[in-house]
Each structure stands twice: as structure tokens, then as C-alpha cells.
Amino acid sequence: MSKVILITGTSSGLGVSIAVQAAKAGHTVYATMRNLAKRDTLDAAASAAGVSLKVLALDVQDDDSVTAAVDEIIQAEGRIDTLINNAGAGFVRTTEQASLDDINWVMDVNFTGVVRCTKAVIPHMRKARAGHVVTISSVGGLVGQPFNEIYCAAKFAVEGYTEALACYVTPNFGIHFTTVEPGGIQSEFAANVMKHVQETGGMLEDEYLPILQKYVAGAQARADGSDIYQTADQVAEVVMQCVEAAEPPAKMAAGGK
């Protein structure tokens, strides 16, 4: 059955792959992003795949933006069957190095943004007694990782939030909740993380620097010449399996070889 699917964070990477695969499967896809000036990658991918997408502005950090996008879809379609919370941002800084503004930003994008979007669609799904909220979490939401403690904290919060909703909303109102947990993905995500580091002072010359350099070198060595990282298309295939499952699981691993 064709579904009305709302996806956040579709300007690049995994969001593009999910949007295209969902449209190819015959669903009505509302692909959203904060800045519509960055839709070129999405448009090119949709054109290459021969699919049509409905593209809207939606900033997960802005209550009014989220509400406006959801209201527009409801007015046009009468329902939202599936929300895919994909928008997110990585962060590499130690607790000592991170400013409170940094920490608030990471939590707002990766956790509160998920809450905003979920909060906006639940009333419509509850009225329909049906719906599915899929949130892209991370292995970092299951296991703490060096230099990623703030990001991991946000993803751990996503996991707890989703589990709590599933334990009472699902049995009473028929709305399913799933976290999909990828490992490393070959996409622009890591590049954007490093771009943010450079924009906020670069690698800091302190006692953590040699530890970070060793960590980064080890990660690079594991990645070079291997298929340790999944492609965005491979993770999107897992997401689509979840979307189309008759009884979607509460958690779905999508990463790691």
C-alpha cells in the first residue's frame, strides 16, 4: 500500500537515498530540508532515478517550521503514515573543549529536533490509530565512543525517548516506533563534522590532541582499502525494509561489517 512519508534532512547523504528509494517503491514522499537552496543533490538523484518528490522546507530546530510543514502535508494528503527522523549532525569535541552553545546545538539538532517532529505528527497518527515513526539513531546511541560523548549522549537520548513511546503509545494507539542504528556511512556526514570542527577553532592544541590524532589515524587505517563503511543506499534499504514491515521492530541494526 502506498504511504505518505515525511523525511527530514534530505539535502544529502542518507536522506537523499531514503527519499529516492521510498519514491521508487511507490510511496508519496515529502522530502524536507532546512535550506531549499541545497536541494540540487536531491533533485539530481530523483531525476536520475526517474521519480517525483515533493520538496518542502523544514528546519528541525524551529517549532514553527516543523508545524508548517506537517500542516501543509495534512492539508494536501489528509494523513502522514510514516515520519522518518533523519536530520542530524555529528560532533567531535571533548567535554572540556565543548562550549555550552556547542552542547545545546548538538542536543537540539539530534534529540530535540526528533522530539519536535514526532510531537507534530503524533496527534494525526493517534486520530488515525495508525502510523510509524522511524528515527535514524546510531551505533553511537548504543555504545559510547571516544571524542563523541556529546553526540552519543544525544543518540542515547533518542533511544530512550523512542523506547518509552513504544511501550505505551504503540499498544494503545497503533503507532509504531523504530530506531535504525547504522554504523559508519560513506556520505557527507563525516566531512560536515570536520567542517564544523574547523569552523569552531579547529583541532585544539591541548593534552587531548595526541589522543585524538591516534584515534583518527586508527579509524582511517581501518577504513582505507576496506568495505567497513556502508553506503547510504545500503542503509536506506534497511530503512525501507522497516517502513514496509507489517509489524516493524522497535530497533533495527543497519551497520557494521
Q: Is 151 a catalytic residue?
A: yes
CB 67 within 8 A of CB 120: yes
CB 150 within 8 A of CB 91: yes
In angstroms, the CA 247 to CA 161 distance is 20
User: Could you give the C-alpha distances from 16 to 49, 112, 144, 170, 203, in angstroms and in order?
Assistant: 11, 22, 27, 28, 30
Return the SS3 of 134: strand
Catalytic-labelled residue, pool 30, 151, 168, 229: 151
- The strand pair at 54-57 and 185-186 is best described as unpaired
Question: Would you name the residues annotated as active-site residues?
Answer: 151
